[in-house]
Amino acid sequence: MPLIRIWAVNHALASGIAAPTDILTAANHLAPTTPARRTVAPFRWRIESIDGRPVRTASGQLVPVDGTIDGGSAADAIWLTAPFVADLERLLARPGPLAPLLDALRRQHARGTLIATYCTGAFLLAEAGLLDGRAATTHWSKASSFQARYPDVALRASEVLTEQDGILCGGAITSYQNLALRLVDKLANPRLAASVAKLMLIDMNRISQDSYIDVSQMSHAGHDDASVARALRWMERHLREPFSLARLSEHVAMSERTLHRRFREAVGAPPLKYLQTLRIEVAKRLLAETKIGVDAVCERVGYTDISGFRQLFKRETGIAPGEYRRRFMR
């Protein structure tokens, strides 16, 4: 009987606690009718908190728990919920309250327990030192700040799920659905996981979160470099024109080398890479909010080769422009 300990932290979304229990409940419901090479034991779970007291979710809901987080308790997997807070840096700057949780995570990993988290939960695993040298993903909007804070982590920000050395990470918030299915896959069998996905209408084939990225919500959007902000506005106004770093440098009265460095510090990418991201973001907006053809979208965001644009769009978002429009048209 696989036991999953759900470690709930204050300010997590309630769904981050409820979703895994719902998926495990569905797995228990389907297991007797799903063909398998061996009998699947029912999943069990416990909800636990740092101090054994109920946790307050981001919406203010009070969730009762079954006990206190303990790094020495037997478990097949630990499910770490993710804090949903406006100022994550402030939360992480107070290591005292998190110390028992981080220590328990390290101890469970040393025991060989599977550890699964999603979204900003990856920050907690990184704080515990469990992601150094390992692959991880996190919410797309936090990728830049995560990489800056934890340079030793092999961040794969595009991916919905990563797995290495018994640590599973999910991307943006609802990746917890795919993450819970992965636990069903690993602790029971792939066939049961697929049956649960069908029952609960969960897309198991999500591999990239790039198509959901909104540049305005990324962690670098609030940077305080006035010169880079001027450069960004200039790039937006001249989106359809061929890019010239020399013209951009002249506009902000800065050498190309200095601008390149300041850009990387402020937005986590050099000017040309950021421009490509911006062009794809505007293309996504045009596809979702207008009915103009893909050729016209290509021209409006500064590309002249429609074939090249289609390839670039699919590489950056994981889907073709037409498919993006079908999914996100408002």
pLDDT in tens, 145-161: 898 899 999 999 889 99
- State mean pLDDT over 268-278: 86
Burial 172-208 (b: 16+ CB within 10 A, else e): bbbbbbbbbbbbbbbbbbebbbbbbbeeeebebebeb
| Whole-number pLDDT of residue 212 | 80
Cβ contact 78:114 at 8 Å: yes
User: For 47-69, how does the pLDDT look when each residue is reduced to its tens digit (9 = 90+)?
Assistant: 999 999 999 999 999 999 999 99
Say which residues have a Cβ less than 8 Å from residue 254's Cβ, sequence separation at least 6. Answer: 227, 262
pTM of the model: 0.76
Determine how β-strand 161-164 pairs with β-strand 167-170.
antiparallel
H or E stretch including 68? strand 67-68
| Whole-number pLDDT of residue 285 | 86
Predicted confidence (pLDDT) at residue 38 exceeds the cutoff of 70: no
Alpha-carbon span 138 to 162, nearest angstrom:
9
- Expressed in angstroms, the distance from the first to the final Cα of the chain is 45
**Comparing 28 with 229, which gets the higher pLDDT?**
28
| Whole-number pLDDT of residue 217 | 61
| Whole-number pLDDT of residue 39 | 66
